[in-house]
């Protein structure tokens, strides 16, 4: 059997199955663990971008650096964590120009400055293949602020931030992770479950509901569409890096009102709700989002 016949979730699951790691961590956005005697929890996340998979060879390297850093930070947003330290692994052919590398680093640094993050170390390696940049981030979250994917309750409202679809036209290289919004949410509301949308609602929402052992119902017509995007784009394009979260319908009015006041330029949209799971399937069938390796 080939890697392409298995898919990313199964690959990760088979990695974690044999390990000492708790299997409940599979598929979660970040790893959240105890650090010795510390009051706060340690948050870890690693992510990578690969040439010709996540960016084109001709893409502005400063934007590649921005994206490489912002992807793991979007996972910090998902759990309401604060990123503090980043390590960069740069795998790059010897013939690549130093100008390209400097521009890449400029993008990485600009992204780090945006979130008061320190790039504290890294590693470089030669390669005979495409450039790959792996970014590992460590940070923290207060015990009572950490949000996982799996706390959703039946009847919870489902909200998404921003607009979905069409990210490949540019947003995927320039997005700003929703850390500020996520921290605000967990300051003022009891968010039951949250994730960031990276593979498209069509792939991510079923995972999200399944993590809480629930189904979902969405109102496709209510989906907030990016300029030029259609409903199918909102479901399948991926790389939205918006938040999807579940919250009690009792909070709906207060949330919508205070959100508009706090973030007047960023839409917040109720797209549906979590429901009792339907038989075998996870309720409403969505055309899949972007699935790696397929």
> Nearest approach, Cβ of 82 to its own copies (angstroms)?
10
- Nearer to its own copies by Cβ, of 136 and 236: the residue is 136
Nearest to 208 by CA among 232, 251, 259, 242: 242
Q: Encode 3-38: b = buried (16+ Cβ within 10 Å), e = exposed.
A: eeeeeeeeeeeeebeeeeeeeeebbbbbbbeeeeee
- Nearer to its own copies by Cβ, of 148 and 269: the residue is 148
225: β partners: 164
- Nearer to its own copies by Cβ, of 143 and 257: the residue is 143
127 binds its own copies (CB under 8 A): yes
Q: Do the Cβ atoms of 272 and 216 come closer than 8 Å?
A: yes
First to last CA, the chain: 14
Cα–Cα distance list, 37 to 41, 83, 85 (Å): 10, 20, 20
> Nearest approach, Cβ of 121 to its own copies (angstroms)?
4
Taking CB under 8 A as the criterion, the residue among 5, 187, 253, 280 binding its own copies is: 5
Give the count of beta carbons closer than 10 Å to the beta carbon of residue 247.
22
Q: What is the residue whose two structure tokens read 């309720």?
A: 283
Taking CB under 8 A as the criterion, the residue among 60, 103, 109, 277 binding its own copies is: 109
150 binds its own copies (CB under 8 A): no
Taking CB under 8 A as the criterion, the residue among 77, 132, 160, 193 binding its own copies is: 132
Instruction: Render 112-161 in DSSP notation, one character per residue.
Output: HHHTT-EEEEEEEE--SS--EEEEEEEEEE-TTT---SS---TT-EEEEE
- Nearer to its own copies by Cβ, of 97 and 144: the residue is 97
- Nearer to its own copies by Cβ, of 1 and 221: the residue is 1
User: Under rule CB under 8 A, how many of the chain's residues touch its own copies?
Assistant: 84
168 binds its own copies (CB under 8 A): no
Contact region for its own copies (CB under 8 A) — 10-18, 166-174, 185-193, 266-274? 10-18
278 binds its own copies (CB under 8 A): no
Q: What is the residue whose two structure tokens read 């994206």?
A: 67
Taking CB under 8 A as the criterion, the residue among 66, 73, 92, 234 binding its own copies is: 92
Binding positions for its own copies, 48-87, rule CB under 8 A:
48-50, 52-54, 84-85, 87
């Amino acid at each position: 059997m080939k890697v392409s016949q298995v898919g990313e979730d199964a690959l990760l699951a088979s990695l974690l199955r044999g390990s000492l790691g708790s299997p409940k961590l599979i598929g979660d956005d970040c790893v959240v663990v105890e650090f010795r005697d510390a009051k706060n929890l340690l948050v870890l996340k690693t992510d990578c971008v690969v040439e010709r998979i996540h960016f084109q060879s001709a893409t502005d390297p400063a934007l590649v650096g921005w994206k490489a850093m912002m992807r793991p930070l979007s996972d910090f947003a998902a759990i309401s964590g604060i990123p503090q330290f980043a390590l960069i692994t740069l795998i790059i052919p010897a013939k690549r120009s130093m100008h390209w590398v400097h521009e890449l680093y400029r993008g990485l640094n600009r992204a780090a400055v945006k979130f008061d993050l320190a790039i504290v170390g890294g590693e470089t390696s030669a390669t005979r293949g495409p450039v790959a940049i792996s970014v590992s981030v460590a940070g923290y979250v207060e015990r009572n602020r950490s949000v996982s994917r799996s706390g959703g309750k039946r009847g919870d409202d489902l909200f998404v931030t921003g607009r979905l679809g069409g990210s490949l036209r540019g947003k995927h290289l320039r997005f700003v992770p929703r850390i500020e919004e996520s921290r605000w949410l967990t300051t003022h509301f009891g968010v039951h479950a949250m994730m960031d949308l990276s593979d498209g609602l069509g792939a991510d929402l079923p995972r999200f509901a399944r993590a809480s052992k629930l189904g979902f119902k969405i109102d496709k017509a209510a989906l907030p569409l990016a300029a030029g995007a259609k409903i199918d784009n909102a479901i399948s394009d991926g790389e939205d890096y918006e938040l999807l979260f579940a919250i009690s319908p009792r909070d709906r009015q207060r949330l919508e009102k205070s959100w508009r006041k706090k973030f007047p330029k960023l839409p917040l949209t109720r797209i549906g709700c979590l429901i009792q799971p339907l038989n075998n399937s996870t309720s409403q069938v969505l055309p899949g989002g972007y699935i790696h390796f397929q």
